Structure 1
């Protein structure tokens, strides 16, 4: 039973590397896990489908955030940003990548649109990337950094939700800890991601590289609607910024991405930034932009349900920790590897934490880890695998923008680079944090 998680994730990874559609790869992995656990094919599929609702809230929020991003783009304010970046950063490849990493970081804590901004901001820059011969793998790494590091390190926006999940699950499992201690525990692992980004930008992908036509198959989105005209800042842009602030405030107050996105959308219609008659068009474009990613998240949730209900994750953790009963260093390392494997399969840091926390807390407390060291293990283990997973929004989002012209492969140009540059330092720095704190 303990090998079910490992084998099923290997199946998903191999199929993805062979460029099988990620949804098919996830379904195959879920069926593999079910069959290895003694379920029939029909029961495996039923368990998979029944678990898809676990990410329904996330999927709906992505659709609404996609519509919100489309509405923002409709005003032309993104064209101002794109034109500004082109004007000041043409020829400055390293600075371009770092600015993109910074912009992506804002999407987690300040402007809560998560990955929805990528298909709006990145496609207009692709031609410039090609002219500069900028390695798109560096951009993918920068985007994934911005989608992950802020919620790991900063307890605001998505970070507040992530830290709150860790806090709630640890308290329910019998650990005594504060929200402030959780933020402290995750600073060191987050620092590892910063180092990973710098290595990717200044060393690994610094050389010039030509994008290969057809490398990513079909283009991910249509770029026909992207506004490229030069526009001056006006009243609608000011109201758009106000709507973004309202969306951010609503999301922080309610801790709901759905409510935050709805608040932003409604504000733009109330302020007449978006004509009412454009409502159907905005929503439809949002679905087209984010619909496939939302469905992948639903499929990943179904896979996670199969692993959870069959007891595969529990068996893996118990066997792994049982082999190294009195060695904290090795226990921490093994638990992090388990987190990597589990999150690679599920594709969601937020969805993995509740599964891991219930198993990790008793093991860590028995082994003598401090509550803050346990939080470092849980947070890092949950974040591990998110970067590099074919089913993760942290990789699907960057690909959706970078493959708008069909020149960027999801697995080899996004998943593999982000896995190498973020999962390896996360394991090292998370291990150090668990031992020292």
Structure 2
């Protein structure tokens, strides 16, 4: 189901689906099974070596998962995809497939804190250095950072939680001149608002737990391959993909062409590590994808209205939302996110952490929890939770101030959301003199 033939709204419902051959079920069936029976010796051998396109084992080959991955790849404009147990698993698998101990990866410095922790902690222990650079650093800074062992450039379309939209086309040029792929986490934008492959990205990642599912019921991730990166032309950097094996087996490029990276990811990295998404979760994810465009339109309209309203509240010092004309990334958002700037609205309360405490505790309709992309609106004080393991100086360096609150705007009535936020801000205003007293005493 090609983009040239059908619109996004149609493809989100039909792409990648195959009718049940036995009974004609209209929905993609749930294949709740660990393995699959082989017809013969030769059938088993063929399923394992890839010459027979039938599933061998659900760790990487479940048909329900495969159908969902095909649909997501279609929506992103890729040649194929692989579902994983979480978005973090998708990132870890991708970079493990590209980089080994002693290698180097570049990344933009404004990222979801969980990704930064993964890079510093687990990849650091594995001997993979991930160097963080400001996305808008001059070209010469990026060029100077590239090494012979640099294996990827990683970024997010809309970095969470600060919403500082990145220039994907520029980063793609930097990566390709260096001879390595651009890997983009497109979770916050979703393929409805932005398709990074159209701007030069080579590999796209999602935490499918978020807007793609939409209902907050399952955890999952996906890796989507554009099929456009020149692995053969950069064989010295990626011998595992572009060169024959030590036993003389033809390279993944020779055997699988545009699917070389995805096949390597599925048959080597994912098979070795095994972060499998349960087919029950894939089935639930599929139900969410079918309404993605409708939900995103409402998410975006609610988010813009709430962000504009927050800008004019006395208790709010700053609002980070690139859909606002006042935002420094507004012009870039018009280029890369013309249908809307996502559904994360981050703001700073002027009263700091004590104001944030009162604000969070005063919410009644909005859920106090960590997650994104739910139909329900969610709120979290990031400094005491997601960024709580950092020092105050480290938080400030990431743009996380004492009063920073992140909202994931849901699908409720925007009037009701505003009323809940207004009640919480009124509580902040009423508590301000009380909250200020301990601060003054401490200063003395």
User: Who wins on radius of gyration, i.e. which is larger?
Assistant: 2
Greater share of residues in helix = 1
Higher relative contact order (CA 8 A, sep 6+): 1
Normalised by the length of structure 2, the TM-score is: 0.28
Greater share of residues in strand = 2
